Structure 1
């Protein structure tokens, strides 16, 4: 058994890639090199998960050849991604 099916691995990969992209393109001057601030992390994770939520909705409109949706931990990939967006938003509001 795999924890993902189809493009479900993007549920974690997309936010990580956006965080790394933000760290590379817009480094935070107040943070030591190689680190990131909480807000930069939340922004990257939130944007990556939002992209993945839309991607999951589009990809899961049609079933795969074997009849299974693109999933992550046995849930369609858009729902864990939406949860990541909500958690990032709530933490950003609380910490701001």
Structure 2
């Protein structure tokens, strides 16, 4: 009986995790596309930076949904955690850039 209760409480994943493989491959494609864009194209610098920024945002969103299971969870608590994480990332990157330019 105790074995049955622990089995029903745990989440069962059946089959091969194709969505994770797809997310991983798509992340690799976005990474290598950004590398190709930076190293092998003759586009203007501002265009390269803009496109790489867009691809970075897409990859972050992809990883949040596919690997961090953003679509699952409690809702409000998860949203507040993500907003706080973005705030910390923004402060870290913004503070680093600010320090570099004021030295």
Normalization by structure 1: what TM-score?
A: 0.36
User: Which structure has greater strand proportion?
Assistant: 1
Return the index of the structure with the highest Cα Rg.
Answer: 2
Normalization by structure 2: what TM-score?
A: 0.34
User: Which structure has greater helix proportion?
Assistant: 2
